[in-house]
Amino acid sequence: MNIHSIQSQDIPACLDLYNYYIQNTCFTLEESPLSLDAFRTRVHKVTERYPFIVAQDEHGTVLGFAYLSVFNERSAYRHTADLSIYVHKDHMHQQVGSALYRAIETLARQQGITNLISIITNVNPVSLRFHEKQGFIQEGHLKTVAVKMNQTIDIYYYRKRLE
């Protein structure tokens, strides 16, 4: 597996991967698929300040991606970042998420990030367990705050302090 900073040629495959989760799950609370231009703009905005990395196999197939983004715009939160990790549905349970997490945590530390926050829906127990395995702790639970695909959804705030 090769993990590298996102390149322009990775963007369409990452978009397809993400749009799958938008259209088929309640793991992300976006409801409408993104266009290539919208996703490209998002990637460029993220990479102005934070890392956005991609995992590929030996054939160049995108297996997943991870990125950090603004947790809160107020300057006092400058050492805290929101973490997102998405693994291709056909490559779950192959350690792709763990490899991406290790790489993004290293980059976060290098950038002076001291807290990582993940917002996870209650309908994604695999992600809840994954974050706990990586040393995250549950810091908050907001009940029935979203509705997607006719499901009422809770969200959990998970945090990891990087020492």
Domain count, the chain: 1
Which domain, by its residues, includes 66?
2-115
Does 18 map to a domain? yes
Q: Is the pLDDT of residue 163 over 90?
A: no
From residue 57, give the alpha-carbon distance in Å to each of 62, 102, 103, 135: 7, 17, 16, 26
Asked if residue 125 lies in contact with residue 30, where contact means CB atoms within 8 angstroms, the answer is: no
pLDDT (average), residues 122-128: 96
Query: Stretch 40-69: mean pLDDT, rounded?
Result: 97
Q: 67-122: per-residue pLDDT in tens?
A: 999 999 999 999 999 999 999 999 988 899 999 999 999 999 999 999 999 999 99
Asked if residue 85 is part of any domain, the answer here is yes
In a domain, residue 125? The reply is no
Strands 52-56 and 2-5: antiparallel
**Rounded to an integer, what distance in angstroms lies between the CA atom of residue 63 and that of residue 80?**
26
CATH of the domain at 20: 3.40.630.30
Rounded mean pLDDT, 2-27: 98
Q: How far is CA 155 from the centre of its chain?
A: 15
Structure-model confidence comparison of residues 163 and 158, the more confident one: 158
User: Model pTM?
Assistant: 0.95
